């Protein structure tokens, strides 16, 4: 397990390295060029030796796919990670995907295989939080799934979020670093997301990357894994 500078979690555990999503701003790809976690970043690699990191005692919020996208994992990898999560309920776990449709099918297949159609009643607890990563309107249009949060980071344009399955929390952030073609968000894009969240009584958590842009409107409500259920 690694401590993380990501402000929304305490730590990361990565049992998979690599991602075929091909995002231009991907920091994992940059790190992989330096540290060679996997042979080809576009081909996810399973690293089961990291499963033992779930067994640490000190309770933490842990991001489980900071170097991949759980929607692109093999179903068997998801099952093994879920088993480690079930065995370690002292932590809270967070998973993020840009492929909610594929992930949803894999989770349904896992729960059906175990003879129960309800994912959460199958595991009898609620310490795994799923989010959908949205950076553009096209991704938002494919994100109409019931999840715990949307992560709109980096926001690349003004976005109307799916209305039907609005989650309890919206996390918003800007692109960081000095990458070529970096998109500087406009305040009105963020204000529009906040209005949508307010209309749904959802919390808003802005990353530090937006503090200067938002000024007095900067806002950090509670994160899903900080809200008591
Ligand atoms: S989804 Fe995440 S890990 Fe995958 S390419 Fe995009 S930024 Fe990188």
pLDDT in tens, 46-94: 999 999 999 999 999 999 999 999 999 999 999 999 999 989 999 999 9
139 and 122: one domain?
Answer: no
CA of 26 to the centre of ligand 1 (A): 5
Chain segment 157-197, per-residue pLDDT in tens: 999 999 888 999 999 999 887 766 788 899 999 999 999 99
Q: pLDDT-based confidence at 122, cuts 50/70/90?
A: low
Same domain, 154 and 173: yes
Q: Are residues 160 and 210 in the same domain?
A: yes
Residues 25 and 39 in one domain: yes
CA of 68 to the centre of ligand 1 (A): 6
Query: How is residue 63 written in tokens?
Result: 């991001």
Ligand 1 center–CA 124 separation, angstroms: 30
Mean local confidence (pLDDT), 147-159: 95
Number of domains observed in the structure of the chain: 2
Number of the ligand 1 atom closest to the C-alpha atom of 29: 8
Name the H helices within 114-146. 119-123, 137-141
Decide whether any atom of ligand 1 lies within 6 Å of the 23 Cβ: yes
Interval between CA 112 and ligand 1 midpoint (Å): 28
Is residue 93 domain-shared with residue 143, that is, in the same domain?
A: no
**Domain boundary residue among 131, 148, 168?**
131
Closest residue to atom 3 of ligand 1, CA basis? 68
Q: With beta carbons less than 8 A apart as the criterion, state whether 85 and 62 touch.
A: no
Predicted local confidence at residue 117, as pLDDT: 57
Largest CA distance in the chain: 51
Q: How far apart are CA 11 and CA 83, in angstroms?
A: 19
Q: 127 and 138 share a domain?
A: no
Q: Is the CB of 175 under 6 A from ligand 1?
A: no
Q: Residue 61 has what pLDDT? A: 93
Which of residues 104, 131, 158 is at a domain's end? 131
**DSSP strands (E only) in the chain:** 2-3, 11-12, 16-17, 45-46, 61-63, 92-97, 128-133, 149-152, 169-172, 203-206
Which segments of the chain does DSSP mark as H helices, in order? 27-35, 75-86, 100-113, 119-123, 137-141, 187-199, 211-214
Spatial contact of 100 and 132, defined as CB atoms under 8 Å apart: yes
Residue 217 C-beta-side C-alpha neighbours within 13 Å = 13
Are residues 51 and 138 both part of a single domain? no
Q: What residues make up the domain containing 162?
A: 134-229
Answer yes or no: do 140 and 127 share one domain. no
* Residues 38, 97: Cα–Cα separation, whole Å: 20
Mean pLDDT of the chain: 90
How much distance in Å is there from the Cα of 19 to the middle of ligand 1?
6
Tell which one of 6, 15, 19 to mutate to probe ligand 1, the residue whose CB is within 8 A of the most ligand atoms: 19
Among residues 96, 115, 131, which one ends one of the domains? 131
Question: 81 with 110, same domain?
Answer: yes
* Same-domain status, 139 and 224: yes
Residues 127 and 139 in one domain: no
Q: Is the CB of 139 under 6 A from ligand 1?
A: no
84 and 7, same structural domain? Answer: yes
Ligand 1 binding pocket mutation candidate from 24, 28, 43 (most atoms within 8 A of CB): 28
- Residues in CB range of 51: below 8 A, 6 or more apart: 15, 80, 81, 84
């Amino acid at each position: 397990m690694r401590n993380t500078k990501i402000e929304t979690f305490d730590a990361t555990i990565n049992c998979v390295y690599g991602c075929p999503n091909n995002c231009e701003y991907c920091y994992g790809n940059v790190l992989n060029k330096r540290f060679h976690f996997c042979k080809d970043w576009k081909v996810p690699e399973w690293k089961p030796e990291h499963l033992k990191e779930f067994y640490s005692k000190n309770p933490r919020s842990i991001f489980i796919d900071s170097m991949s996208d759980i929607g692109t994992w093999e179903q068997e990898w998801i099952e093994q990670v879920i088993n480690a999560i079930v065995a370690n309920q002292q932590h809270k776990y967070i998973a993020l995907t840009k492929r909610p449709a594929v992930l949803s099918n894999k989770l349904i297949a896992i729960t059906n295989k175990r003879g129960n159609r309800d994912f959460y009643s199958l595991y009898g607890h609620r310490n795994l939080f799923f989010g959908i990563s949205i950076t553009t309107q096209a991704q938002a249009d494919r994100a109409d799934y019931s999840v715990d949060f949307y992560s709109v980071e980096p926001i690349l344009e003004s976005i109307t979020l799916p209305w039907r399955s609005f989650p309890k929390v919206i996390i918003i952030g800007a692109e960081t670093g000095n990458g070529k073609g970096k998109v500087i968000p406009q305040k009105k894009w963020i204000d529009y997301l906040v209005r949508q969240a307010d209309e749904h009584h959802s919390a808003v958590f802005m990353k530090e990357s937006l503090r200067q842009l938002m000024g007095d409107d900067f806002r950090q409500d509670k994160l899903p894994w900080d809200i008591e259920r």
